[in-house]
């Protein structure tokens, strides 16, 4: 069998930043190399490609086809490709010239297509207009999206893979056409760095939030919750750190900007250190296919308070304290509970770490099972 691996899906989007789906694909790539599996890859030479991926391709003589020189159809035909795998298949799912296996991580556009919190973020006029039109034409949008998904993932010969029991059941809920089709769940592989960050023993305490620029992550409600608590005695020595945004769209909504650190984009090493040294990790996300960030915090025994929506409760299970992500008051409640109750703080720290170990064990096993499934 001639297997083709989609490295284009691991390359950055137009903003030039790496993304979760890309990291997922890289981990599968590296594990396939470790297992000495024979395969070829395709990529786009105009986009950034992880230098370690390039080194592995050169060292192990893995063919690397450039989409700037050949179309995907030409690559399949010219190199006798039998099967293709993509971590973000999109339109590739409709290919008929070879078998296509792909991971679809979730159904956010069906489960959480809209939330008015979107308008509180700093969006371009084009983004705002597009969102508003989609909201006003919600039924038509849903029907079109449903038709697109049926065409790509359901009615085609595409081999669907997903990353959580929640995501699998979301597919079955929105697409009863799948009820008699067997498609597997393989937990997203562990993305934690092999070396743990050093925990700095100092007096700084901070609530930690990630991906602050994305409305789906719902961080604004958590920011407002902490801002309202800033004057409470139990909070006077605590800050809030937020990655993914410089805070320009948040500053006029808060009364205590001096208590916040809006860090913008941070590299992997910085991010790891922020997880390791946090006081409490807050995850108010409205939708996840899997949900890596809480596990990253649990790895360092950092207590997690989180939204229970979509896959988050599956991933975190009894290792987190949950809140209604649409209620600022309930987020405040949970912040106070963990801050003022040392027994609860210690309990969440330990249970979270145990949950991380449990999920990691399945992730390691599922990574090889996923590769075996692609190769079957």
Binned at pLDDT 50, 70 and 90, residue 294 comes out as very high
Angle between helices 51-59 and 20-34 (to 10 degrees): 20
Residue 141 pLDDT grade (very low, low, confident, very high; cuts 50, 70, 90): low
* CATH of span 3-114+149-186+364-375: 3.40.50.2000
How do strand 205-209 and strand 40-43 relate by DSSP bridges? unpaired
Domains 3-114+149-186+364-375 and 205-362 share a fold: yes
| Structure tokens that stand for 153 in this block | 């993932």
DSSP class of 45: T
pLDDT for 17 equals 58
pLDDT at 194 over 70: no
- Distances in Å between the Cα of 99 and the Cα atoms of 21, 83, 93 are 21, 5, 9
Residue 155: the pLDDT is 66
Is 62 in contact with 41 (CB distance < 8 Å)?
A: yes
Under 8 Å between Cβ of 279 and 316? no
Question: pLDDT tens across 220-274, in order?
Answer: 999 999 999 998 988 999 999 999 888 777 877 899 999 999 999 898 889 999 9
pLDDT for the residue 246 = 86
What is the CATH class of 205-362?
alpha beta
Instruction: Tell me the helices (H) and strands (E) count for the chain, helix number first.
Output: 13, 12
Quick one: which of 239, 165, 233, 171 has its CA closest to 204?
239
DSSP per residue, 63-124: -EEETTTS-HHHHHHHTT--EEEESS-GGGGG--SSEEEEE----HHHHS---GGGGGS---
Give the chain's mean pLDDT. Answer: 90
Return the ∠ at Cα 222 (arms to 296 and 272), rounded to 5°.
Answer: 20
**CA 203 – CA 239 distance, rounded (Å):** 11
The pLDDT of residue 197:
67
Domain boundaries, the chain: 3-114+149-186+364-375, 205-362
| pLDDT tens-digit readout, 336-375 | 999 999 999 999 999 999 999 999 999 999 999 999 999 9
Q: Are 84 and 76 in contact, with CB atoms under 8 Å apart?
A: yes
């Amino acid at each position: 069998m001639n297997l083709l691996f989609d490295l284009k899906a691991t390359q950055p989007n137009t903003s030039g930043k790496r993304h979760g789906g890309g990291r997922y694909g890289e981990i599968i790539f590296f594990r396939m190399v470790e297992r000495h599996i024979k395969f070829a890859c395709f990529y786009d030479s105009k986009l950034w490609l992880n230098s370690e991926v390039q080194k592995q391709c050169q060292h192990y003589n893995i063919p690397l086809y450039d989409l700037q020189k050949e179309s995907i159809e030409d690559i399949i035909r010219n190199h006798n490709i039998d099967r293709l795998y993509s971590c973000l298949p999109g339109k590739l799912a409709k290919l008929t010239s070879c078998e296509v296996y792909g991971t679809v991580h979730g159904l956010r556009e069906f489960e959480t297509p809209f939330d008015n919190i979107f308008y509180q973020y700093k969006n371009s006029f084009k983004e705002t207009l597009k969102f508003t039109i989609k909201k006003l034409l919600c039924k038509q949008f849903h029907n079109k999206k449903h038709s697109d998904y049926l065409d790509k993932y359901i009615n085609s010969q595409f081999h669907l893979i997903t990353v959580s029991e929640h995501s699998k059941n979301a597919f079955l809920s929105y697409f009863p056409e799948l009820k008699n089709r067997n498609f597997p769940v393989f937990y997203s592989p562990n993305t934690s760095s092999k070396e743990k960050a050093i925990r700095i023993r100092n007096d700084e305490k901070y609530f930690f939030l990630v991906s602050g620029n994305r409305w789906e992550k719902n961080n604004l409600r958590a920011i407002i919750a902490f801002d309202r608590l800033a004057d409470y005695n139990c909070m006077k020595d605590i800050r809030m750190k937020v990655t993914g945004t410089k805070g320009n769209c948040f500053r006029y909504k808060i009364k205590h900007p001096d208590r916040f650190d809006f860090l913008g984009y941070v590299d992997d090493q910085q991010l790891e250190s922020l997880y390791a040294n946090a006081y409490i990790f807050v995850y108010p996300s409205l939708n996840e296919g899997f949900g890596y960030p809480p596990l990253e915090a649990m790895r360092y025994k950092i207590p997690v308070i989180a939204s229970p929506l979509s896959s988050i409760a599956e991933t975190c299970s009894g290792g987190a304290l949950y809140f209604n992500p649409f209620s600022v008051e309930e987020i405040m409640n949970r912040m106070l509970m963990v801050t003022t109750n040392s027994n609860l703080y210690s309990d969440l720290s330990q249970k979270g770490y145990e949950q991380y170990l449990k999920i990691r064990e399945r992730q390691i096993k599922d990574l090889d099972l996923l590769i075996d499934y692609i190769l079957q």
